[in-house]
């Protein structure tokens, strides 16, 4: 449940009304991406058939259904699948993050390390691989994927250890490689990533239900794309090592393996056009844009004019916050791009460059910057929400910035610039009772930003 930190929004008058509107819009957005609800929206049982996003699987002709996967939101997804398929599930094994277990009956949930992979994760991933090897032509593999799946489903290739992988990653980071480049190499050193989970499952049919935590929903990036074609090759991976001058400086096991790949001794990852994917269906069941759309619909039901701006928002939180404030100011000044009462909806994931020692998160920091930019302007609110309910290392999911946020802070003796410089947005909004509190939502589709102009 979305609430403000205090009862403030329950107070009388226009301010209370507006806060209730905000809560309603945020709650609708979060409800839309609840992992279990998301699975059930895209996968339904129709008697003897399983219908997934328009595709019908005749369960009477399917021998075994296996459920595999990994990710932070996998436990509620698994529960939804058990509710749907019950004893038609032959076997299942999923890796979830420590302390993310929920009760299941036929699917085994294994706790594993995240964000740093650990041996538990490798053991669970080996069990997934073993299960996939069993799957035959008349079987159906349901793959449940959510954020964190890349770390949780880690299964290095023969001869390469977790330590080797960590050494490689550190070397690449030091050399300045970006995440796409790092993943290009890692996808060639893992038995499940880069489409290889689907290849292991073949000739079984594969249905992958994906809860996206990556801006723009690039299928090959979410959990390193275990069921989608890989667009990169051993040559690409080798080229990157050469480019960053890391040959001879990384674990020999890795160099040996990739060298064999380049020499054609090991089959490359299945790419676009590989027959593996002819029997694979990938469905994004929840994503930032689904949440944003639900928020937009809720705002429209409140008779607000709405504008769906973008779900690709990235950048330094404090700077991005200024742009959202600028949009609110224009609506107020000129009724452009939409008239009042208005709600502008956006999503994505910003970053925070740490400068201080304070406590906060990217959404709270964005809100503080927005508050500075809308200072003294009535009727505008910028609301910043982490959909997982945990914005940075805090128990808040975001914050609300309004025209009087800075003045109310000053009354309490708070200099907003000092708090911003110190990355200390949490205590700032906590003092004002303007933190958004949801508790952990068990989902994660990045962040949402709403600009309300009444």
Tell me the angle at which helices 13-32 and 35-42 cross, rounded to the nearest 10 degrees: 50
Question: Toward a second copy, which CB reaches closer, 82 or 289?
Answer: 289
Q: Shortest distance, CB of residue 81 to a second copy, whole angstroms?
A: 28
Question: Toward a second copy, which CB reaches closer, 207 or 368?
Answer: 368
Question: Toward a second copy, which CB reaches closer, 279 or 322?
Answer: 322
- The answer to whether 124 and 70 have CB atoms below 8 angstroms apart is yes
Residue 64 has, within 13 A of its CA and on its CB side, a CA count of 18
Residue 41: Cβ within 10 Å count: 16
Give the helix/strand (H/E) hosting 296: helix 288-301
Residue 401: Cβ within 10 Å count: 31
Q: Is 215 left (phi over 0), alpha (psi -120 to 50) or beta?
A: beta
Q: Shortest distance, CB of residue 325 to a second copy, whole angstroms?
A: 7
Question: Toward a second copy, which CB reaches closer, 311 or 438?
Answer: 311
Q: Shortest distance, CB of residue 219 to a second copy, whole angstroms?
A: 13
Q: Shortest distance, CB of residue 309 to a second copy, whole angstroms?
A: 6
Cα 381 from Cα 272, distance rounded (Å): 45
Q: Shortest distance, CB of residue 349 to a second copy, whole angstroms?
A: 11
Cα 194 from Cα 207, distance rounded (Å): 16
Q: Shortest distance, CB of residue 311 to a second copy, whole angstroms?
A: 6
Q: Which residues contact 405 (CB under 8 A, 6 or more apart)?
A: 371, 374, 375, 432, 434
Which one, of 150, 288, 309, 145, lies nearest residue 216 by Cα?
288
Question: Toward a second copy, which CB reaches closer, 60 or 334?
Answer: 334
Q: Which residues contact 62 (CB under 8 A, 6 or more apart)?
A: 138, 139, 140, 205
Question: Toward a second copy, which CB reaches closer, 350 or 438?
Answer: 350
Strand-by-strand arrangement of the 55-58 sheet: 43-46, 49-52, 55-58
Question: Toward a second copy, which CB reaches closer, 346 or 385?
Answer: 346
Beta strands in 229-318 (DSSP E): 280-286, 305-313
Q: Shortest distance, CB of residue 334 to a second copy, whole angstroms?
A: 7
Q: Is 97 left (phi over 0), alpha (psi -120 to 50) or beta?
A: beta
Q: Shortest distance, CB of residue 246 to a second copy, whole angstroms?
A: 17
Question: Toward a second copy, which CB reaches closer, 134 or 375?
Answer: 375
DSSP secondary structure code for residue 156 in this structure = B
Q: Shortest distance, CB of residue 355 to a second copy, whole angstroms?
A: 12
Which one, of 445, 453, 449, lies nearest residue 31 by Cα?
445
Over 353-378, what HEC string results? CCCCCCCCCHHHHHHHHHHHHCCCCC
Question: Toward a second copy, which CB reaches closer, 95 or 449?
Answer: 449
Question: Toward a second copy, which CB reaches closer, 252 or 421?
Answer: 421
3-state secondary structure of 277: helix
Q: Shortest distance, CB of residue 68 to a second copy, whole angstroms?
A: 29
Question: Toward a second copy, which CB reaches closer, 155 or 380?
Answer: 380
Cα 40 from Cα 52, distance rounded (Å): 9
Q: Shortest distance, CB of residue 319 to a second copy, whole angstroms?
A: 3
Q: Which positions lie near a second copy, rule CB under 8 A? A: 216, 289, 307-316, 319-320, 322-323, 325-327, 329-330, 333-334, 336-337, 346, 348, 373
DSSP 165-227: HHHHHHHHHHHT--HHHHHHHHTTSBSSTTTHHHHHHTTSEEEEEEE--STT--TTTGGG-TT
């Amino acid at each position: 449940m979305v609430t403000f930190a205090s009862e403030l929004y329950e107070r009388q008058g226009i301010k209370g009304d507006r806060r209730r509107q905000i809560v309603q819009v945020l709650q609708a957005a979060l409800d839309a991406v609840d992992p279990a609800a998301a699975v059930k929206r895209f996968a339904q049982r129709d008697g003897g058939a399983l219908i997934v996003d328009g595709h019908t699987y005749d369960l009477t002709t399917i021998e075994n259904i296996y459920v595999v996967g990994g990710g932070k939101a996998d436990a509620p997804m698994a529960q939804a699948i058990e509710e749907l398929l019950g004893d038609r599930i032959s076997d299942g094994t999923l890796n979830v993050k420590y302390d993310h277990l929920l009760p299941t009956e036929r699917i085994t949930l294994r706790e594993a390390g995240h964000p740093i992979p650990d041996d538990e994760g490798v053991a669970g991933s080996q069990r997934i691989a073993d299960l996939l090897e069993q799957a035959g032509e008349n079987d159906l593999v349901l793959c449940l994927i959510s954020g964190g799946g890349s770390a949780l489903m880690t299964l290095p290739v023969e001869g390469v250890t977790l330590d080797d992988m960590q050494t490689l990653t550190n070397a690449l980071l030091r050399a300045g490689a970006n995440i796409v480049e790092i993943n290009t190499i890692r996808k060639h050193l893992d038995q499940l990533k880069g489409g290889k989970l689907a290849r292991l499952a073949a000739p079984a049919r594969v249905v992958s239900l994906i809860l996206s935590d990556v801006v723009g929903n690039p299928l090959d990036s979410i959990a390193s794309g275990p069921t989608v074609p890989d667009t990169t090759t051993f040559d690409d991976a080798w080229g990157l090592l050469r480019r960053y001058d890391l040959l001879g400086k990384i674990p020999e096991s890795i160099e040996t393996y990739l060298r064999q790949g380049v020499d054609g001794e090991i089959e490359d990852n299945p790419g676009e056009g590989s027959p593996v994917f002819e029997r694979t269906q990938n469905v994004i069941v929840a994503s930032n844009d689904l949440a944003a759309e639900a928020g937009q619909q809720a705002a429209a039901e409140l008779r607000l004019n709405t504008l769906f701006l973008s779900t690709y928002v990235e950048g330094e939180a404090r700077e991005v916050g200024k742009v959202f404030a600028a949009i609110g100011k224009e609506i107020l000044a000129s009724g452009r791009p939409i008239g009042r009462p208005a709600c502008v909806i956006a999503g994505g994931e910003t970053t925070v460059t740490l400068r201080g020692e304070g406590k906060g998160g990217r959404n709270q920091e964005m809100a503080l910057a927005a508050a500075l930019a809308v200072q003294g302007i009535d009727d505008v609110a910028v609301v910043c929400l982490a959909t997982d309910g945990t914005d940075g290392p805090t128990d808040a999911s975001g914050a609300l910035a309004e025209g009087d946020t800075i003045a109310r802070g000053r009354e309490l003796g708070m200099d907003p610039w000092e708090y911003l410089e110190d990355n200390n947005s949490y205590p700032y909004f906590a003092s004002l009772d303007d933190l958004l509190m949801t508790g952990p939502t068990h989902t994660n589709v990045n962040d949402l930003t709403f600009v309300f102009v009444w």
